[in-house]
Amino acid sequence: MGIFDIFKKKNKSSIILSPTNGEILELSYVPDEVFSNKIMGDGFAIKSNDGVIVSPVDATVEMIFDTKHAMGLKTDDGLELLIHLGIDTVNLKGEGFEIFTNVGDKVKAGDKIMKMDVDFIKNNATSDISPIIFTSLEDGQSVKIVTGAVEAKEENRIEIVK
């Protein structure tokens, strides 16, 4: 980073918002080795208080699982994210989830895209901790987070660093 880089405005597409009211956690807290060991990529986890999930970025909806527990987003500059609500929630066959968008839709950071019934998930799945994975990071890139309590749409809590 050059000395004058500190004066540059952040590229809007690089701003990543907190996707829910609740808590941001390290991936190591996810009770599934595929996520906690970063096999699918780096990211962070959320524990939602109200189950409402907003898009963390401006993106196109690339994929929605039939079981409504997961969604893939892609930004215009190629950043790909997987939002996976809860652990072992695929077994719920869509029960406890709502989707507010469709494949191909353009969403803005902060748009409501998904919802999970937190109590139902806690009682019927392995965990309500939800990993959010950046599946297309370049070599040397990683995800830096500020853990702890968070409100939806908060900035400066999630950042991709090189």
- Active-site positions read 84
For the record, the structure tokens of 95 come out as: 């029960």
Alpha helices (H) in 8-117, listed in sequence order: 33-36
Q: Are 73 and 83 in contact (CB under 8 A)?
A: yes
How many CB atoms within 10 Å of residue 149? 11
Residue type (1 letter), 49: N
Residue type (1 letter), 144: K
Helix (H) or strand (E) holding 159: strand 158-161
Distance from C-alpha of 56 to C-alpha of 108, rounded to nearest angstrom: 8
Residues of the chain by 3-state class (helix, strand, coil), percent to 5: 15, 35, 50
